[in-house]
A and B are shown apart, each in its own frame.
Chain A
Amino acid sequence: MSRQITIKDVKQIAIGAALLGSGGGGNPFIGELMAISAIKKHGPVTLLTPDEFPDDEIFVSASNIGAPAVSMEKFPNGNEFINAFEIFEQYYNKKIYGTFPIEAGGINSMMPLVAAAKMGLPIADADGMGRAFPELQMSTFVLAGHSVTPMVLSDERGNTSLLNTPDSFWAERIGRDFTVQVGATSSSASDPVTGKELRSAGVLNIISLSQNIGQLIQHTNDYVSVNSALTALLKLTHGYKLMTAKIVDISHTTSGGFNFGEIILSGLNENEGQTGKISFQNENIIMQLDEQILATVPDLITMVDMDTLQPITNEEVRYGKRIMVLGLPANEKWRTAAGISLVGPRYFKYDVDYIPIEQRYAEYQNQ
């Protein structure tokens, strides 16, 4: 049954989105305020369950592309998606039925809520990643053979650009150029799919999962202990606690617009004396404990505050912070040969095989 997303729901989804961001995806803060503003003004948004996606209607994803740090200062007008969706309607000569997040992790979890509230459209409970990833082609829709384009990029001044490209790499390349020209961030409407395609190629019920995660974290204090809240969180996400630690070092470098780096962790409690390392490229890619790999992409590696379970994005990582590293299994669609070649550790230039987190974790436990 469809339900209404209110401001209270937005806040919970934003927390879940930060967790699913796996360290990247941008802090949802600005997106959250945009969604709250839009819902305040236009009313709640209808969330459709997968069985309610009409087979033959068109859904278009709404997202922001570019530099999250720039959007903290210069954020959209709010009408960008209206312009972009109009172009889609002209292109297909058909009304766009609804929208959905291309990535449920980070700031882009919020953009479809903004678009949906502004245009009175429903939002579909599905995304194309089940987390956050840095590039356009890293979606389960591309994996299923769908095209990222037609894609419409737009800015606050009314500049729009309709792209039709032979593949997603070109969409990424031209899209980035447009974005740089209009100030390093732009609004994007992309990945048009029918309701039927969305149901078969998307990661389903991800917004609900995100909200359940957020709600649980918001109510950490209601549990007998942080540990029992954590147990519930791991049950909900089928995840593992990989390490309890203190952040002792962070190194950042940017190259080609990407934020690369390593976070060094010093073990606490049950991990006393051990050293952990998270390598990231915007999102967290590999987690090692005393040289042994415990998790790699596409499985999610995410840090949460030790006392509040609030997710910590890599922009907020700071020396001395006490955290727990969680590992969450990726959606099954990513665990295929094609999925691994698109978003596995080798794509990010690590000479490491993808082994599912549950196997790596069991191996570690058995030692």
Chain B
Amino acid sequence: MYKLGIDVGGTNTDAVILDDKLNVIVSTKTHTTKDIETGIKKAIHQVVNTNNIEVSQINQAMLGTTQATNAIVERKNLGRVGVLRIGYPATASILPYTEWPEDITSILSNRYALIHGGYEFNGDPIAPYSEKEVQEKLSEWKNQIDGLAVIGVFSSINDDQEKRVAEIAHKMLGKDFPVSISSSIGSIGLIGRENATILNAALNKVIKNVTDGFSNALAEENIFNATVYLCQNDGTLMSLPFAAKYPILTIGSGPTNSIRGAAYLSKIKNALTVDIGGTTSDIGVLVNGFPRESSKAVTIGGIRTNFRMPDVLSVGLGGGTIVRINNDDSVSIGPDSVGYAITERALVFGGNTLTTTDIAVRLGFCQLGNPRLVESIDKKIAQKAMTKIASIIENGLDQMKTSAEDVEVILVGGGSIIAPSLLSGVKHITKSKFGSVANAIGATIANVGGEYEKVYQYSQTKRSEALADVEKQAGQQAIMAGAKANSIKLVEITEVPLAYAPGETTRVKAKVVGEIDNSK
């Protein structure tokens, strides 16, 4: 049996095939195409044909894609959304869409309503919830919206009102009408969660194109036996039906996949990862096999969400970065790059632009293109340039380190040939021959994940019970996303006490992973 993994990045679309022991059988790199789908088809075609893979043996196919993010950033294919916030009379001081760029609110149709209901932090109702208000709004919005976003105050304490609204919407607007409820999308922090829920509701058409496009591409290569998964931002997978409901969870899976792929290839669980591409290098931190999360909330297309992305530092150094030799023989590196035009513009490929790749070839780091074309570069100047390249990486690593000690570094990405084998502050550098497709590998080896967060008062609920409860709920989320029930493992559990709140009020969050359930 084989697994097929694809990662669509800004520049390249990578594909890999792994056997059931997770050995890499074949990999490929093609340019990302404007319509995405053509690039995916090409990549799949290349991997299945290179090694004459028996396509009926491919039983899992994973896709990591930036299409949802692109749709938001480019305001394309977004649906009209109705926003129902349950919590009135609380929260009226900040209305939905406050601080959203206007070009996107008008596309989403700017329809919202605040209705009575919602919960306090301890589960008490804020105000009586009224079904009539919900019905009135929905009949008003009928045929004017393509998706519904439902956001209840403290729905992470009690989601029954959000779920009830979804039921009514399915009755009134059709059983397949897309409804996004906030308790399954984000954590505490109403505005960030509401924004993410609204975006999720707007992405309904986009995700349908993604899933249909991927299914078509597979069908075209006669891959009919594969269960299909999409990658989430936290480095785990979700099944297609689950992804169709939660498209927003696909955003930012690229950097996560690269870090996870690096971990897999190197068999190292704690290290810094450096993914050198054509234009930039992304430095991430691997903690117990998972990427360290950023403390900052993510802004997509000018909209603040409460998603946490991997903590990644991007520096302007890639294989295509332009090197300039100044009149006084000093050298400057970038920040501009020839990008994927490297195969035409770099000196070693017969072009006329000096790039970091040319420097690496001149110094004998790698065999690439025609080394004779860079022989005329003064070796001393090439060494000077390499010292600068090294210091860009070293500075980046130093910023991401958590202690002054030397670190393990895993080097991946298509541009990794330009990195020297010795870096200061680094204990050891690990490279792999499949490092250039680390993100596609990260997509392929991923497990199915689940996350859950809730606020407990330890004076009411025993701490041990709260922890067990939250872990169980996260497990159920993972099973819904396609995990095998008996394979679920806890990745992390975090507790944050809330200042000034009575009864030892604590926010508890659990993250679990499980193996793919092939029986589904």
Contact = CB atoms under 8 A, between A and B. Distances in A.
A73 B402 contact: no
Contacts of A38: 93
Contacts of A157: 89, 126-127
Given A37-B98, A184-B501, A321 B121 contact: no
A70 B98 contact: no
Contacts of A33: 94, 98-99, 191
A158 B126 CA distance: 12
Q: B-side binding surface: helix, strand, loop or mixed?
A: loop
A75 B121 contact: no
Contacts of B94: 30, 33-34, 37, 75
Contact of B499 (A69, A78, A320): A69
B408 to A, nearest CB: 16
B102 to A, nearest CB: 12
Contacts of A37: 93-95, 98
B507 interface: yes
A248 interface: yes
Given A156-B89, A252-B497, A72 B190 contact: yes
Contacts of B89: 77, 156-158
Contacts of B88: 77
A296 B341 CA distance: 58
A266 B403 contact: yes
A74 B502 contact: no
Given A38-B93, A72-B188, A184-B120, A246 B501 contact: no
Given A37-B98, A73-B154, A156-B89, A266 B504 contact: no
B118 interface: yes
Interface string A57-86: 000000001111110111111110000000
Contacts of A68: 499-500
Given A37-B93, A68-B499, A68-B500, A74 B98 contact: no
A157 B87 CA distance: 11
Contacts of B99: 33, 36
Given A67-B500, A320-B402, A73 B121 contact: yes
Interface string A84-113: 000000000000000000000000000000
Interface in B236-287: 285
B118 A74 contact: yes
Given A78-B92, A184-B502, A259-B499, A73 B403 contact: no
A248 B91 CA distance: 37
A144 interface: no
Contacts, number: 132
A319 interface: yes
Contacts of B92: 76-79, 156
A156 B127 CA distance: 10
A72 B295 CA distance: 16
A156 B92 CA distance: 9
B221 to A, nearest CB: 44
A30 B320 CA distance: 43
Nearest to A282: B499
B233 to A, nearest CB: 18
A70 B499 CA distance: 9
A78 B93 contact: yes
B93 A319 contact: no
Contacts of B201: none
Nearest to A81: B93
Given A33-B98, A259-B497, A76 B400 contact: no
B328 interface: no
A104 to B, nearest CB: 19
A70 B502 contact: no
A131 interface: no
Interface residues of B, number: 43
A347 interface: no
B93 A254 contact: no
Contacts of B500: 65-68, 70, 184, 257-258, 282
A182 B462 CA distance: 24
B90 interface: yes
A162 B285 CA distance: 53
A276 B494 CA distance: 25
Given A69-B507, A266-B403, A319-B402, A258 B189 contact: no
B401 interface: yes
A340 B402 CA distance: 37
B501 A67 contact: yes
A25 B451 CA distance: 30
A180 interface: yes
Contact of B124 (A30, A66, A73, A183): A183
Nearest to B504: A254
Contacts of B422: none
Interface string A308-336: 00000000101111100000000000000
A69 B93 contact: no
B120 A183 contact: yes
A253 interface: yes
Contact of B505 (A67, A76, A319): A67
Interface in A157-184: 157-158, 180, 183-184
A74 B126 contact: yes
Nearest to A78: B93
B505 A184 contact: yes
Contacts of A75: 90-91, 93-94, 190
A355 interface: no
A109 to B, nearest CB: 16
Interface string B81-109: 00000011111111100110000000000
Contacts of B121: 67, 70, 73-74, 183-184
B52 to A, nearest CB: 47
B63 interface: no
Contacts of B399: 322
B16 interface: no
Contacts of B285: 320
B498 interface: yes
A50 B404 CA distance: 50
17 contacts: A69-B499, A69-B507, A72-B188, A73-B121, A74-B91, A75-B90, A75-B93, A77-B89, A157-B126, A180-B502, A184-B500, A184-B501, A248-B402, A257-B502, A259-B499, A320-B285, A320-B292
Given A76-B93, A184-B505, 6 more contacts: A33-B99, A70-B498, A77-B91, A77-B93, A319-B402, A320-B400
